[in-house]
Amino acid sequence: MTGPTLSEPAAAETGTALDRYRLLIDLEDRPGIVESVAGFLGRRGGNILDLDSHSTGEPPRFYMRAEFGVAAGSLDEEEFKREFAREIAPDLGVDCWELWPVARRKRVCVLVSKHGHCLTELLTRWHQGELPCDIDLVVSNHPDMATEAERFGVEYLHVPVEKGHKPEAEAKILERIGGGRYDLHVLARYMQILSPEFLAGAGAPIINIHHSLLPAFIGANPYSRARDRGVKIIGATAHYVTEDLDAGPIIEQDIVRVTHRLGVDEMVQAGRDIERTVLSRAVRWHLEDRVAVHGNSSLVFA
């Protein structure tokens, strides 16, 4: 099922028939990058509408996100990639780049366990046209959220994870979602640690929401631990999943103030609001190609 499109405002404003693309590049920093790339685009009739770049410190690496427009129908994607690979990449040592048409919606699969607030938030935003993607599958190790997925007309795949049989469950999930069938997987409070094999087979980035302001309260029950510690601020963290638990590159974090008046249940509820906000933001940024990974951290061109 495909949600409605939220047209990008700039496109609406220009009033001309433009195809818009995003070009993302990262490479070892050296002089002349911007000139080369801008020249390459210019020779194909591309006009840069938005350009953001950053040169990191040690090691020096250059990241660039350009959004450009060309006359509608004038860009042949395969040819562009071939020529970029020949003309630009070797010269600059670009080993990592991507071209993405703004109009192409990413395919997203959501995984959830029993707590549905993040799932509902994603499905609601998608349904209201606020997340430019296609969501056609929710995977869960529990049956609880089946009716919620159904409410939005999305298929629900229930794969129980029996004790001692996790590899089989993971294999079953991968069979359905792995190998590049999706552009993004979102763990919307999916409470299972994923094996290295699963990560390797997923074939797409995985975003997780952790219910604390990492690196504080890594692991289980962050809210009770936060309350025991008497913190005045709690938060949530959206990050890419890596083999190290709760340690992958952080995409977004946000917080909410808490007081002595809140019991654990109320802190959990306050935390839920932050979790769904932070996860939505991280997913949207990823969908708009705004996130670049640099070592174990991220750059967000937002």
Q: Which of residues 15-54 bind a second copy (CB under 8 A)?
A: 30-35, 38-39, 41-42, 45-54
Task: Decide: is 7 part of the binding site for a second copy (CB under 8 A).
Answer: yes
User: Who contacts 224 (Cβ-Cβ below 8 Å, separation ≥6)?
Assistant: 264
> Catalytic residue among 19, 26, 246, 289, which?
246
What track of x and - describes contact with a second copy for positions 112 through 131 (by CB under 8 A)? Answer: ----xx--x---x---x-x-
Residue closer to a second copy (CB basis): 198 or 239: 239
Tell me which stretch binds a second copy (CB under 8 A): 2-10, 77-85, 93-101, 161-169: 2-10
Task: Decide: is 235 part of the binding site for a second copy (CB under 8 A).
Answer: yes
Residue 275, amino acid? E
To a second copy, the closest distance from the beta carbon of 239 in angstroms equals: 9
Task: Decide: is 229 part of the binding site for a second copy (CB under 8 A).
Answer: yes
SS (H, E, C) the chain: CECCCCCCHHHHHHCCCEEEEEEEEEEECCCCHHHHHHHHHHHCCCEEEEEEEEECCCCCEEEEEEEEEEECCCCCHHHHHHHHHHHCHHHHCCCEEEEEECCCCEEEEEEECCCCHHHHHHHHHHHCCCCCEEEEEEEECCCCCHHHHHHCCCEEEECCCCCCCHHHHHHHHHHHHCCCCCCEEEECCCCCCCCHHHHHHHCCCEEEEECCCCCCCCCCCHHHHHHHHCCCEEEEEEEECCCCCCCCCEEEEEEEECCCCCCHHHHHHHHHHHHHHHHHHHHHHHHCCCEEEECCEEEECC
Active site residue 244: no
Task: Decide: is 143 part of the binding site for a second copy (CB under 8 A).
Answer: no
Which one of residues 82, 86, 151, 165 is an interface residue with a second copy (CB under 8 A)?
151
- The site for a second copy, by CB under 8 A, has a size of 78
To a second copy, the closest distance from the beta carbon of 277 in angstroms equals: 8
Q: Among residue numbers 262 through 281, which ones bind a second copy (CB under 8 A)?
A: 262-266, 269, 273, 277
What track of x and - describes contact with a second copy for positions 69 through 108 (by CB under 8 A)? Answer: ----------------------------------------
Which one of residues 88, 145, 202, 214 is an interface residue with a second copy (CB under 8 A)?
214
The whole-angstrom separation of Cα 301 and Cα 294 is 13
To a second copy, the closest distance from the beta carbon of 160 in angstroms equals: 24
Token couple for 43: 């020779």
Which one of residues 78, 164, 230, 244 is an interface residue with a second copy (CB under 8 A)?
230
Token couple for 54: 């950053």
Residue closer to a second copy (CB basis): 66 or 173: 66
Task: Decide: is 232 part of the binding site for a second copy (CB under 8 A).
Answer: yes
Which one of residues 55, 195, 221, 224 is an interface residue with a second copy (CB under 8 A)?
55
Report the catalytic residues. 246
